[in-house]
Structure 1
Amino acid sequence: LPRNLDLEALRTPQSLLHTSKSQPKLIAPFPSHSSSIPPSIQEHAYAISMSWSDLPAELVAGIADRITEHADLARFRSVCPSWRSASAEHAARRRVPLLLLPSQQNSRVNRRLWSLADDSITETPMPAACGRSFLFASPRGWTLAVADDFTATLLNPFTGASESLPALPPSFHDGYQMILRDMVWDRSPDAVMVSQGKGAFFCRLQGDGRSWTPADLSPPARVGSITYCDGTFYLLDKRANKVTAVDGATFAVVVAIEPPDLVMPDRSWLRESTLVVSSASELLLVVQGGCHRSKGLFKAFRADRGSLAAGWSEVADGGIGDRAVFVDHARGFCVEANGVNGVRRNCVYVASAHEEANANSGWGDWGRYTVSMLDLDDLTTQNLSHGNLLKCLHGRQRPSWSMPNLH
C-alpha cells in the first residue's frame, strides 16, 4: 500500500459495480491476456463477486493507518460498519484535539493546526476563512470566522462545509478589536450564540432573514464562556462562578445555577473557572487558583443536568478520572484518555497566548502561543510550548482547541 493513500484510488468504475438492493458488489475485472483462459473458467471468475464490507479487516486497518487527513478518515469510516470497526483503533489514536493557530495574514486560504500528539503543524485549506482575521474553533469541528468588517462565517475545516452569518452586533465593534478578540461562542444544530462579555445574542440558522437577537437574560449576565449540549446553552460568569442555562429553542432562561461554596486562602490568589459538559448527565465546574508563593489549588464541582436547581457538589477526590479537560479562552471540554491517543488522564491542558514587546516600538505587537498541562494528581504544571509551536507568532489573537469528528 502507498504511504500517502489517495482515496480516489478506492473508487471503482461504475462498469465494475453490480448494484443490488442490499449494497454494491465489486466484480473483479479479468486481465487483458484472458484470451488464453477457457471460457468456462472466465464465466466462473466473473460470477464471483465481493462486497466492499467483505474486505479483510487487516487490509482495511492497514489502509486506515495510511490516511493522514481527518476528513478522509471520517469519510472512510462512514463507508460501512465493518470498515468503521476495523479502523476503530486508528480513530482512537487520532481522537485528540488540535490547536487552531490564527494566521498573521488573513488573506491566506490555508490555516495552521498544531497537533498535541506529535508537535506537528498542518496547513489545512479553509477557503471560507479567506479574508477573516479572527478564527474561533470548537470541540465539534466547527469554526467561527470573523472579518474586519464584523461579517461572520461558520466553517468546518474537516469537511469543507460553510454557512454565512450576518455581521456581528454593534456592541462587538471597537477600534482596537479587543472585544472581538475576547468574544465567546458556540452553536447548536439550529442556531449560533455569541457574547462580547456581557449578555448574549443568538442567530437562527434555519429560514431566511438571519439576524442577531439579544437573549433574554435579565439582568444581563457577564458571560465568560458559552457551551452547548443537548438542547441547552450554558453561560458561565467566570468571576462569580454562576451558570445560566438557556433553552436552545426558545432562548429563554431555564435555570440559574448558583456558585458553589468556594473559599480561597487569601485575596492574592488568582482564580480561573472553566465549565465543562463532561457527559450526557453531568456538568463539571473546574476552578484553579494560585499565587507565586504556592503550587496552586484545584477544585472540581459536579452538577446533575437532570436537576440543575440542586446546585453543585464538590468532587470528593478532586480529580476527573480517566479524562482530560482542554481549556482555551472560550470554553473547556472533556476528552477520554484512552491509552492510545497520548492524552494523559486527570490533567488539564490550557492553551493561551502572550504578547512580546516589539524591539522597535516597545509595544506588544506580536506574541507566542503557549500550552501547559496541569497534573491534578500532584498539582504540578508542565510547559508543552516547545518545538514547532514555539516558532509560531500571533498578532493579538488567541488559539482555540478544535476536535475533529471521526465518527
Structure 2
Amino acid sequence: MSWSDLPAELVAGIADRITEHVDLARFRSVCPSWRSASVEHAARRRVPLLLLPSQQNSRVNRSLWSLADDSITEIPMPAACGRSFLFASPRGWTLAVADDFSATLLHPFTGASESLPALPPSFHDGYQMILRDMVWDRSPDAVMVSQGKGAFFCRLQGDGRSWTPADLSPPARVGSITYCDGAFYLLDKRANKVTAVDGATFAVAAAIEPPDLAMPDRSWARESTLVVSSASELLLVVHGGCHRSKGLFKAFHADRGSLVAGWSEVAGGGLGDRAVFVDHARGFCVEANGVNGVRRNCVYVASAHEEANANANSGWGDWGRYTVSMLDLDGLTTQNLSHGNLLKCLHGRQRPSWSMPNLH
C-alpha cells in the first residue's frame, strides 16, 4: 500500500488535526486522493485572515487574526524583515515596503518572494501618510500601485524592472485597484467612477460612470468598495462610513463583458450566499458555505483608528487599534467584532488588510 492508498476516513481525520494553513496546504498537495479526502476541512478554513502589521519591522514573524475563532497566528515571513508596511491581498500575495520605499512581493503561505524596484518618488512624503494609504494589486505578469492620483505599473517578466505611469489621461483619482482576467479596475471612491485598464498595454480600456446613488451626497457619510464578485460581474458596494449613516447601503452590479451598459442596482441590496470583505485597498467576495463561519449577505469591514493612551514611561501617546465591523444586510444592523485578541493588538502607522489563504 502506498501513501495515496490510505483510507479517505484516515486522511480526513489527519487533516482535521492540522491547525496551520501552511501545513494544510502542503498536506493537500501530496496527491489527488489526499486533496479529495481533505476537501471539507479545507472548506472550513476558507475564511480570510486579517494581516496585522507589526510596530517592530525587524521581526521575522508577523501576525494574522482569524475571524473564525478570534485567534492570533504568528507566521514566519523572512522576506518582510525590515519592511515597515505590509499590504495583503485575497490571492495570498503581500506587498512589503520599507521606510526607504524599497518593495518586495511575498507569499506568507508558500514562502515565495520577489524583489521590486523602489516605489516612485511621488510616494515619498515626510510623514509617510501616502505610503500608509497606498493601494495595489497584481496580475500574473505585473504589479500596479497608486498613491491616490494616477497609477504606476511594473512588469514582472524580463530584466530592467521599473515603475511606469499607466496611460490615464487626465490622471484619475484612485482609491482602489482590483485585478481580474486581463484587466485592472481602478475606483475613484469619491466619484464612484471605475476605470478599466488593459493588463497588457496599461491603456484605458473602458470607463463606468457612477450609478445613481439616491443617497445623501456627503463623502464623509459613505464608503464605496469595488468587488470582482464573479468571472462575469463587478459589484459596487456603497455603505455608511460613520455612525450617523449606518443604515445607508446600496449595491450595484455591472457586466464585465459590457461595461458601457453601466451599473444596475442589486434588488434589495442582497449578496445572496456570499459575504464581502473590505479593507482600505479593496473588497472581495467569499462564499458562506455553512462550515467556514462566514455569515451570508454580510459586509465585513476592517479598519484602524487612533486613540490616546496613558503611558507610565512617556506620558500620553498616540496608539492605534484594529477594528472589524460586520454589516448584516438582512436587517441593516452593524455588529462590532473588535473584541478579545483583536482588541489587544496595537499598531503604529499602518492599516490592516485581508489575506485569503490558498489551500488548493
Which category of TM-score, normalised to the shorter sequence, fits these structures?
over 0.9
- Report how far residue 361 of structure 1 moved: 7.8
String of CA shifts for 1:138-163, please: whole Å, max 9, x gaps: 00000000000000000001000000
With over 3 angstroms needed to count, the CA separation of the structure-2 counterparts of 1:363 and 1:327, relative to structure 1, is farther
Question: Given the two structures, how large is their TM-score scaled by the length of structure 2?
Answer: 0.96
Question: 2:172 & 2:291 partners in 1: Cα distance?
Answer: 41
SS at match of 1:288: strand
The whole-number CA distance in structure 2 between the counterparts of 1:342 and 1:122 is: 18
d(CA) in 2 for partners of 1:211, 1:218: 21
Looking at structure 2, the residues matched to 83 and 177 of structure 1 have their Cα atoms a distance apart, in angstroms, of: 47
Q: Aligned partners of 1:317 and 1:226: how far apart in 2?
A: 27
Q: What's the % identity of the aligned pairs? A: 95
Q: CA deviation at 1:290?
A: 6.2
Q: CA deviation at 1:52?
A: 2.6
Mean alpha-carbon deviation: is it higher for 353-362 or for 269-278? 353-362
Change (3 A) 1:94 1:292: closer
* Equivalent pair of 1:355/1:364 in contact (CA under 8 Å): no
Corresponding residue of 1:366: 319
Task: Give the aligned partner of residue 123 of structure 1.
Answer: 74
- Pairing partner for 1:326 from 273, 277, 288: 277
Give the deviation of 1:250 after TM superposition. 1.0
Matches of 2:83 and 2:243 in 1, distance apart?
39
- Determine helix, strand or coil for the equivalent of 2:22: helix
Q: Is the CA contact (8 Å cut-off) linking 2:222 and 2:242 kept in structure 1? A: no
Q: CA deviation at 1:289?
A: 2.8
Question: 1:294 Cα deviation (Å)?
Answer: 5.3
**CA distance 1:240–1:268, change in 2 (3 Å):** closer
Aligned partners of 2:222 and 2:245 also within 8 Å: no
Q: Once the 2 structures are TM-superposed, how far is the Cα of residue 51 of structure 1 from its aligned partner?
A: 3.1
How far 1:252 sits from its partner (Å)? 1.0
Distance 1:302 1:244 in 2: 15
The answer as to whether partners of 1:277 and 1:284 remain within 8 angstroms in 2 is yes
Match of 2:140 in 1: 189
> CA separation of 1:175/1:269 partners in 2, compared to 1, >3 Å: closer, same or farther?
closer
Q: What is the CA deviation profile of residues 167-210 of structure 1, one whole-angstrom value per residue up to 9, with x for unaligned ones?
A: 00000000100000000000011100000000000000111111
Flag the 1:267–1:208 CA change in 2: closer, same or farther, 3 A. Answer: closer
- 1:358 and 1:299, CA in 2 relative to 1: closer, same or farther beyond 3 A? farther
DSSP-derived class of the 1:239 partner: coil
- Measure, in 1, the Cα distance between the counterparts of 2:274 and 2:233: 14
Q: Following TM superposition, by how much is the alpha carbon of 1:365 offset from its aligned partner in structure 2, in angstroms?
A: 2.8
Moved more, 348-357 or 273-282: 348-357
Which runs of 5 or more structure 1 residues have no equivalent in the other structure? 1-49
Structure 1 residue 292 and structure 2 residue 240: aligned?
no
Is the 2:302–2:325 Cα contact (8 Å) retained in structure 1? yes
1:42-101 deviation per Cα after TM superposition (whole angstroms, max 9, x unaligned): xxxxxxxx2332110011101111122212211221222211111000000000000000
For 1:168, what is the secondary structure of its paired residue? coil
Q: For the residues of structure 2 that align with 1:136 and 1:311, how far apart are their CA atoms? A: 30
Work out the CA distance in 1 between the residues paired with 2:51 and 2:218: 34
Taking the aligned partners of 1:195 and 1:293, their CA distance within structure 2 comes to 30
**Inter-CA distance 111–284: structure 2 relative to 1 (3 Å threshold):** same
Comparing both chains, which one has the higher relative contact order based on Cα–Cα distances under 8 Å and sequence gaps of 6 or more? 2
> Structure 1's 268 and 195: CA in aligned 2 closer, same or farther, altered over 3 A?
closer
Distance in 2 between residues matched to 1:362 and 1:218, nearest whole Å: 49
**Higher mean C-alpha displacement, 58-67 vs 125-134:** 58-67
Deviations along 1:232-291, one digit per CA (max 9) or x if unpaired, are 100000000000001111111110111111121464871100000000110000011366
- Measured in 2, the distance between the counterparts of 1:383 and 1:77 equals 35
Aligned mate of 1:97, from 40, 48, 65: 48
**Structure 2 SS opposite 1:228:** strand
Contact 1:354/1:369 (CA < 8 Å) preserved in 2? Answer: yes
Distance 1:195 1:69, change over 3 A: same
Measured against aligned partners, the alpha-carbon deviations of 1:3-51 in whole angstroms (never above 9, x if no partner) come to xxxxxxxxxxxxxxxxxxxxxxxxxxxxxxxxxxxxxxxxxxxxxxx23
Offset of residue 295 of structure 1? 4.2
CA distance in 1, matches of 2:42, 2:334: 29
- Displacement of 1:363 in angstroms is 7.5
Q: Give me the whole-angstrom Cα distance separating, in 2, the residues matched to 1:261 and 1:360.
A: 53
Answer with 290-299 or 167-176: which moved more.
290-299
CA distance in 2, matches of 1:114, 1:269: 28
Please, which runs of 5 or more residues in structure 2 have no aligned partner?
none
Instruction: Indicate how the Cα distance of structure 1 residues 244 and 267 shifts in structure 2: closer, same or farther if over 3 A, else same.
Output: closer
**Residue 111 (structure 1) shift:** 0.4
Structure 1 residue aligned with 2:351: 398
CA contact (8 A) 1:268 1:291 kept: no
* Stretch of structure 1 that moved more, 358-367 or 301-310: 358-367
Distance 1:84 1:249, change over 3 A: same
- The SS at the match of 2:168 is coil
- Cα separation, 1, equivalents of 2:82 and 2:288: 37
8 Å CA contact retained: 1:132, 1:147? yes
Q: How far apart are the structure 1 equivalents of 2:59 and 2:244?
A: 44
- Alignment CA distance shift 1:311-1:359 (3 Å): farther
Q: Residues 269 and 178 of structure 1: is their aligned pair in 2 closer, same or farther, counting only changes over 3 Å?
A: closer
Q: Count how many residue pairs are aligned between Structure 1 and Structure 2.
A: 358
